[in-house]
Amino acid sequence: MISLLSSLLFTAATPLPAVVDEIEDIKEVAAVARPIEFSKVPRKLGKTPLFQSQQPRFGIFLFGLNGETRVWAALDQKNAGGKHYDLLYLDRDADGDLDDEKPIVGAAQPNSRTHGVDFKIGSFAVPGSKDVHQDFQLTAHDHRISFKMKWKGGKITMGLYGPHSDAYGTFTTDPEDAPVFVPGYDRPFTFEHWYSGTLHRGQDTEFKVFVGNRGDRTGTFTCVDDEFLPEGEYPVATLIYQDGDGKERRVHVKLTERC
């Protein structure tokens, strides 16, 4: 890293601020990012508006390098008993209260492709930081939630994913059991497999992984898109298994393909 930085500084007639800033950011990540202890994330929701739905649904987004900024989201309905959730409350000031937030109204008609109701949040400035994420959109499907945003106006981060499509996550009716999501790509990556949980002895299995951040449970993974990692960057999978004598063995595989 130091040699790369030195090379950039000494070979460019004019320093490349964006590149240098990115490298500094990566060094910072190495210094302070640590795994998030989801069991310690407070699930106590503050003041709420008078929800119309009999079953409002809740989720929590974590922002900040170690998830220190907690942003509640709640789905409601304009009219109780409606077919879809059509109001979204987002705790934009991260104070834990939703009664001071203006609801975002969902699209009048479900998305013709996904059949979900889109909520266009737009820009989202993370309280207590200089970070502003763009084109933030959440979609309420019948049995799951999805979202995407341009992280700090740059590349896309999106969710919610799990090891198979039936496991993609959703909000819960109990705030104290609200699922927790970690969007973005500032933190060290973690991984979730996709339809790859069963391997066959003596055979090849195409092992597929999402690259991004784990949430607090299965189905809450957020990921970067297939254009994020530059050429030459890839994860490595190590199969750790026992042979017939019970001895631990390892097989290493480069996951270089994309889709």
DSSP 42-65: -----------SSS-EEEEEEEST
Rule CB under 8 A: choose which of 200, 216, 219, 220 binds other proteins: 200
Q: What residues have CB less than 8 Å from 236, skipping those under 6 apart?
A: 252, 253, 254, 255
- Applying CB under 8 A, which of residues 70, 209, 219, 220 lies at the interface with other proteins? 209
Residue from the set 211, 215, 216, 220 that interacts with other proteins by CB under 8 A: 211
Contact at 8 Å (CB) between 224 and 156?
A: yes
- How near is the Cβ of 232 to other proteins at its closest, in Å? 9
Containing 122, the helix (H) or strand (E) segment is strand 117-125
Q: Which stretch binds other proteins (CB under 8 A): 24-32, 43-51, 78-86, 165-173?
A: 24-32
Any contact of residue 235 with other proteins (CB under 8 A)?
A: yes
Residues constituting the chain: 259
d(CA 104, CA 159): 19
Pairing of strands 221-224, 156-161: antiparallel
Would you count residue 133 as binding other proteins (CB under 8 A)?
no
Nearest distance from C-beta of residue 47 to other proteins, angstroms:
36
CA 239/CA 222 separation, integer angstroms: 24
Q: Please pick, from the candidates 11, 50, 203, 231, the single residue that binds other proteins as defined by CB under 8 A.
A: 203
Q: Which residue stretch of 27-35, 54-62, 100-108, 118-126 sits at the interface with other proteins (rule: CB under 8 A)?
A: 27-35
Q: Give residues in contact with other proteins (CB under 8 A).
A: 1, 4, 23, 26, 29-30, 33, 35, 187-194, 196-212, 214, 223-229, 233-244, 246, 249, 251, 253-259
